[in-house]
Amino acid sequence: MSVRHPLLKTSIHGFPLINPFLLASASPTASADLIRRAFLQGWAGAVTKTIKPDSMAVSDVSPRFHGWRDSAGAVVGFENIELVSKRDEAYWVKTIADLKTEFPDRMVIASLMGDSRPASWRNLACRMVEAGADALELNFSCPHGMPEKGVGAAIGQDPAITARITGWVKDVARKPVIVKLTPNVTDIRVTALAAVGAGADAIAAINTVESITGVDLDTLQPYPLVGGRSAYGGYSGAGVKPIGLKAVAQIAGAVSVPIHGMGGIRTWSDAAEYLSLGASVVQVCTEVMVSGFSIVKPLAEGLACYLDKKHFFGTEDLRGRALAKLSSHEGLDRSTQVRPSAARHEDCVLCGKCLVACRDGGYQAISIRDRRVQFDLEKCDGCSLCRVVCPEGVIEMNIATETKEIS
């Protein structure tokens, strides 16, 4: 079975995993039945929807999602204003115990959110560990609703509170403690260091990015429209991948504990990029909400093929390999430059997008003559805008034989 390819076997916190793909804490892990169906499809583990103490009231709104689509209709960005789990502690105790009995080889991580008292975090942590949770993930990162109550991202935006609450849980937890961080900070390394300094065994990143995905221009109400009003939401899906990749790379450079990488993973190559920037495992949410649990098969198959093709002995061998290629801007090489060529000119549809882009956002170096795109390399500055905008993949950038001062 492809989800069990030998190259995908890995482990985290000493727990052996059939592959590096875990479900992130969210709607697809909101019940025992959902997690059970995901495990049957081949997910190696799941982080439960965030569990809160019974004393904390939670009331969701409807609707609570809004999608941002590309011109072909695919959801490329997703906003939610959903709160944590509405199910009670007893439900989660039974669910975790049942799942561990039924799927002992799958990792079940309990995501937790207490209130401002140490006992609320500690009681939840102890109950879920006793139920059989393999690890705990502390939700210091939900950007909507919960921060108004002083929890969620309100914790992850304050390194001192991050350290204090991590310490409360570490005092009692007999299982690894993962701290899930928010990207809605100036420098995520500061909170990662605070969490690890207080004993966190791993970091998970990113939770959603605070957002407004649009405004209904008839009613002038921001989305999602909830009875005539809206609220800032959390943005996820493909659109946040660059933010997630940067966060994971920065965390990997700052701390040495394992990282659960996430944010916008849709394909095996997205996952491979996270691993190459330092993640030990990846978590997925939005793409599962959009396309279902079965995506784990192409994810696993694609990653196994890639590892095999590149002669990596496993995901651990890929982990962090791209980090060494990150430098300060000052440290970048100024001695090489690139110039465009219409390498696949037979695919050119003469749409003129490259010409317009270079004319108004570049260096006026493109013309179309004799039904072919022509580059004036005297004028060209090697910026690569033309390659970015070409919808047909016609333009290649090649190392220039002659360089010049970039204007």
Ligand X SMILES: Cc1cc2nc3c(=O)[nH]c(=O)nc-3n(C[C@H](O)[C@H](O)[C@H](O)COP(=O)(O)O)c2cc1C
- Which residue(s) pair with 341 in the sheet? 396
Task: State which residue, 26 or 200, has the beta carbon closest to ligand X.
Answer: 26
Cβ 41 to ligand X shortest distance, Å: 16
Q: Is 49 in the site for ligand X (CB under 6 A)?
A: yes
Q: What is the DSSP string of 362-403?
A: S-S-EEEETTEEEE-TTT-----HHHHH-TT---EEEE-SS-
| DSSP conformational letter for 4 | G
- Identify the three-state secondary structure at position 139: strand
Residues with a known catalytic role: 142
Residues 6+ apart with CB under 8 A from 196: 203, 255, 257
Instruction: Write the single-letter amino acid at 89.
Output: E
Question: Would you mind telling me the total number of residues written for the chain in this entry?
Answer: 407
Residue 80 interacting entry, from ligand SF4, ligand X, none, C-beta within 5 to 8 Å by type: ligand X
Among 39, 78, 268, 375, the residue binding ligand X under the rule CB under 6 A is 78
Give residues 135-154 in contact with ligand SF4 (rule: CB under 6 A): none
Instruction: Give the interface segment with ligand SF4, choosing from 89-97, 120-128, 260-268, 347-355 (CB under 6 A).
Output: 347-355
Residue 82 touches which member of ligand X, ligand SF4, none, C-beta under 5-8 Å by kind = ligand X
Quick one: 4 or 372, whose CB is closer to ligand SF4?
372
Choose the one of ligand X, ligand SF4, none that binds residue 282, judging by a C-beta under 5 to 8 angstroms depending on kind: none
**What, of ligand SF4, ligand X, none, does residue 380 touch, CB below 5 to 8 Å by kind?**
ligand SF4
Asked if 337 interacts with ligand SF4 (CB under 6 A), we say no
Binding status of residue 284 toward ligand X by CB under 6 A: yes
Interface segment toward ligand X; rule CB under 6 A; list 157-165, 235-243, 268-276, 297-305: 235-243
Q: How far is CA 17 from the centre of its chain?
A: 20
Among 102, 215, 352, 404, binds ligand SF4 (CB under 6 A): 352
SS3 assignment for 11-36? EECCEEECCCEEECCCHHHCCHHHHH
Burial (CB < 10 A; 0-12, 13-18, 19+), residue 36, is: middle
Check: CB of residue 302 under 8 Å from CB of residue 268: yes
33 vs 166: CA distance, rounded Å? 30
- In the DSSP assignment, the letter for residue 55 is T
Listed ranges 52-60, 234-242, 317-325, 361-369: which one lies at the site for ligand X (CB under 6 A) = 234-242
In whole angstroms, give the CA distance from residue 178 to residue 109. Answer: 9
| Min dist. Cβ of residue 333 to ligand SF4 (A) | 17
Q: Across 2-141, where does the E strand assignment appear?
A: 10-12, 15-17, 21-23, 45-47, 65-69, 75-80, 107-112, 135-139
Nearer to ligand SF4, 160 or 349 (CB): 349
Tell me the per-residue interface mask from 14 to 33 with ligand SF4, x by CB under 6 A, - otherwise: --------------------
- 24/196 with CB nearer ligand X: 24
Stretch binding ligand SF4 (CB under 6 A), from 59-67, 256-264, 307-315, 357-365: 357-365
Interatomic CA distance for residues 99 and 222, integer angstroms:
40
The letter for the amino acid at 253 is G
Q: Which parts of this chain interact with ligand SF4 (CB under 6 A)?
A: 340, 342, 348-354, 357-358, 362-363, 365-366, 373, 375, 380-386, 390, 392, 394-395
